Copies of this chain bind each other. A is one copy, B any other.
Amino acid sequence: MGEFGIGQPVRREEDPYLLRGQGRYVGDVALPGELRAVVVRSPHAHAEVVTVDTEAARAMPGVVLILTGRDAATAALGTQRPHTRRTRRDGSPAFVTPQPMLATDRVRHAGEAVALVVAETLNQAKDAAEAVVVAYAPLPAVPTLADAIAPGALPVHDGCPGNDAFFHALGDAAATELAIAGAARVVRRRLTISRVLANPMEPRGCLAEPDPRGGRLTLRCTTQAPHTLRRILAGEILRMPEARLRVISENVGGGFGARGQVAPEYALACLAAKLTGRPVRWTADRSETFLSDEHHRDNISDAEIALDAEGKVLALRVKTYANLGAYYGADRAAGPPLNNLGVLAGTYVIPAMRVEVTGVLSNTMVTGPYRGAGRPEAAFVIETMMDAAARALGLDPVELRRRNTIPADAMPFKTALVYTYDCGDFGKNISDALTLAEADGFAQRLADSRARGKLRGIGVSSTVEASNGGLIEHADIRFDPGGSVTVSVGTHDHGQGHQTTFRQIVADRLGLPADQIEFRYGDTAEVDIGTGTFGSRSTVTAGSAIVAAADKIIAKATLIAAALLEADPADIAFADGRFTVAGTDRGLGLAAVARASFTPAKLPKGVDPGLFESHTSDGGVRTYPNGCHVAEVEIDRDTGVVTLARYAAVDDVGRMINPLLVEGQIHGGVAQGAGQALMEGIVYDPSGQLVTGAFTDYAMPRASDFPPILLGENEVPTKTNPLGVKGAGESGTVGALSAIASAVADALVRIGAEPVTMPATPEKVWRAIRAAAS
């Protein structure tokens, strides 16, 4: 099993077919009689819907069905239980605003769905959508988070003056206040996390197929959490038995959290399929994804860090305002600002902490999780405050970090905020990353840059994030009578290479050749249950469930092997795919045992036929990937253009099943962190119109924007799961956002300029440089 075992940098088996265009995306499936759906969207950020006149549109050629808010009135997101536990600042229940699938009396963000037009062809549907006449009475809009929290802000919903949908506080307020009051130094900053869009390559799309046999429905769509989507769609929106809805999500062109959205269009396609009895397809064009994919991040945090005279951190207090968008319906908007608050503790000993989060409504698209989902935001806050504190104390930022870093021998370490880190060596991350980055050569490189008339800065982030925790996951290992095996999991692969990774785990554990192992996911009919892929959880949860199921397989197969070999089960050993009788040369391969298991006559008494086992885990406990990223930027004084000059990172994602794929995850994560730090940004104008509605206005990083990304590793396996893995999906972004923002700030501060808010666009940087010069 050596070449395919755990720890081997096996190349992705998915690539040959994905790169050749042989994957099966939603667009690759074609059903007879497909109808095409187009959504009529609001051009206003905020308006009353006076009338929706579909008469002319209904008479257009090929039109089969038009749905308006009235038709879909019972379908809305926002009756899930988590809401009921949330409260507002005064203790009253959270202001939950069910998100309609189609607007009825009011629209609250530009691009909100108002009607669905279903026709024989896409062009017929588009033409008819243009013929739907909606009379709007425009209202003033609240287009940004700053507007929404400003005193006297207009309410987005009549019942929610102040726009605060929920309030959540954690940590000891009194102790923190005391520590701050008595500190030698307190540094305060208002920090802004910009609004971005994940922009997976594949736009959102779906194909809903009705099946008259008992009112069944199959939905193929771009989701990264098929079972979770099914649960919400069936239970909350379509109100049908979950067992009748099948969700299929095969290849998906990138998820990043964004494809966990419970998209109104998916529900509408299902409704239309039920009503027409025909398959209904909807596919977003790129401007629709800008308007109607969930947006991400968009926080304002007022942070205070208190230190003693020696630079020991005494306390951290953070008040965060999180932009939920126009509705607090699905609970997804609350996830990032709430679920990962613990990351604010960072890699440091911080004796007192207090955090307050307010969920804020605005006339913008709703927000949801995006790579890191609160972790990069929290890391950005603590890391930026560490940099600011270092500057305030006149200390090197690395030195300040070293003085406060949690030592490896203090593990497990209980932070002041929620988390107890199980293991890790944060200090070694920093040392190794600085070595890898050749940080001691920075002074020379700075001098070189200056000689060329450029600015240069270095940024170091030392971060930790939580993965996993409390959501079930499932794996199933099923031998067939021929002796090959099918492994299925409830997580979802949308580009990460799970097939490769999970086959490595199975091959390693069961000693089977890789070509006898089939891998399945992404179909609620094929996979018993699951939660999905997000939060760096797949290998941790599904990987561990695979191990547990494999161990059950071995246990049962041992009994069968003993019977076949006429030996006592206690004398049977399993290694490298083979059962052997202790002290003899007799043995049997696992595949042979599996084949025999289907012949009842060959089985020992009490053993059921077949060889298939599953495991459903409760998700296990949290574990903490961590790392240190070092970024260097060079800035052109005259244009403000920031170039990422050097990048090095040492990550501890626990045991690496496949180092090649871990590297890929970190590379991609760094790219997304860099994108947000340097160029990406969703912008609404003062009237609430989306300014950045296309790639011409929304810059994404390209391969040519990056230097070689040097990666080191500091593998500290966790004991919280049998594989020792911690999750590798998000650490790249968590580390990169802070490190790159820090490097830009460093470059600017070195010439006396003020740090800029993200993204560090040429215009902002140029203005900062100009302001410092004047």
Q: What residues of chain A have their CB less than 8 Å away from a CB belonging to chain B? A: 13-14, 17, 20, 22-24, 30-32, 211-214, 216, 227, 230-231, 234-235, 241-244, 470, 472, 474, 478, 480-486, 499, 515-518, 520, 523, 525-526, 528-529, 598, 600-601, 603, 608-610, 612, 615-619
Contact = CB atoms under 8 A, between A and B. Distances in A.
A615 B619 contact: no
A610 B499 CA distance: 25
A485 B528 CA distance: 11
A619 B609 CA distance: 9
B600 A472 contact: yes
Contact of A243 (B13, B211, B472, B518): B518
Contacts of A472: 598, 600, 609-610
Contacts of A216: 518
A410 to B, nearest CB: 29
Contacts of A32: 30
A721 to B, nearest CB: 15
A278 B483 CA distance: 28
B518 A484 contact: no
Pairs of residues from A and B, 3 with the lowest C-beta to C-beta distance, nearest first = A600-B618, A242-B482, A241-B484
B484 A243 contact: yes
A608 B600 contact: no
Contact of A214 (B242, B518, B603, B619): B518
Contacts of A231: 480-482
Given A243-B516, A484-B242, A617-B609, A20 B212 contact: yes
Nearest to A513: B241
Nearest to A600: B618
Contacts of A609: 472, 616-618
B482 A234 contact: yes
A546 to B, nearest CB: 15
B22 A529 contact: no
Contacts of A600: 470, 472, 618-619
A470 B520 contact: no
A735 to B, nearest CB: 30
Contacts of A13: 214
B529 A243 contact: no
A616 B613 CA distance: 12
8 contacts: A14-B213, A17-B212, A22-B212, A24-B211, A234-B482, A242-B482, A600-B618, A608-B618
Contacts of A520: 525
A523 B212 CA distance: 18
A427 to B, nearest CB: 35
A360 to B, nearest CB: 29
Given A17-B213, A529-B610, A608-B616, 12 more contacts: A13-B214, A17-B214, A24-B211, A230-B480, A241-B482, A241-B484, A241-B516, A243-B482, A243-B485, A243-B486, A472-B609, A478-B528
Contacts of A241: 482, 484, 515-516, 518
Contacts of A14: 213
Nearest to A548: B608
Given A212-B17, A241-B515, A610 B601 contact: no
Contacts of A523: 525
Contacts of A610: 472, 474, 528-529, 616
A618 B599 CA distance: 8
Nearest to A519: B214
Nearest to A239: B482
A17 B528 CA distance: 27
B482 A213 contact: no
Contacts of A616: 608-610
Contacts of A619: 600
A528 B235 CA distance: 26
Given A484-B244, A609-B616, A526 B526 contact: yes
Interface centre among A20, A480, A529 (most CB of B within 10 A): A480
Nearest to A601: B470
A525 B526 contact: yes
A243 B517 CA distance: 7
Contacts of A518: 214, 216, 241, 243-244
A235 B516 CA distance: 12
A470 B22 CA distance: 43
Contacts of A214: 13, 17, 499, 518
Contacts of A615: 608
Contact of A480 (B478, B515, B529): B529
A213 B608 contact: no
A105 to B, nearest CB: 30
Interface centre among A14, A517, A528 (most CB of B within 10 A): A528
A481 B601 contact: no
Nearest to A210: B22
A212 to B, nearest CB: 4
Contacts of A481: 227, 231, 235, 242, 529
Nearest to A499: B214
Nearest to A14: B213
Contacts of A617: 608-609
A610 B474 CA distance: 9
Contacts of A601: 470
Interface centre among A243, A518, A618 (most CB of B within 10 A): A243
Contacts of A24: 211, 213
A453 to B, nearest CB: 53
A599 to B, nearest CB: 9
Nearest to A211: B24
A270 to B, nearest CB: 15
A598 B470 CA distance: 11
Nearest to A29: B32
Contacts of A516: 241, 243
Interface centre among A24, A241, A617 (most CB of B within 10 A): A241
Contacts of A528: 478, 610, 612
A462 to B, nearest CB: 32
A562 B277 CA distance: 44
A235 B484 CA distance: 10
Contacts of A517: 243
A202 B24 CA distance: 31
A499 B243 CA distance: 14
Nearest to A529: B610
Contacts of A22: 212-213
Interface centre among A231, A499, A598, A601 (most CB of B within 10 A): A598
Nearest to A476: B528
A532 B549 CA distance: 26
A577 to B, nearest CB: 15
A91 to B, nearest CB: 24
A21 to B, nearest CB: 10
Nearest to A520: B525
Contacts of A485: 243
A658 to B, nearest CB: 17
Nearest to A32: B30
A234 B482 CA distance: 8
A612 B529 contact: yes
A11 to B, nearest CB: 14
Nearest to A472: B609
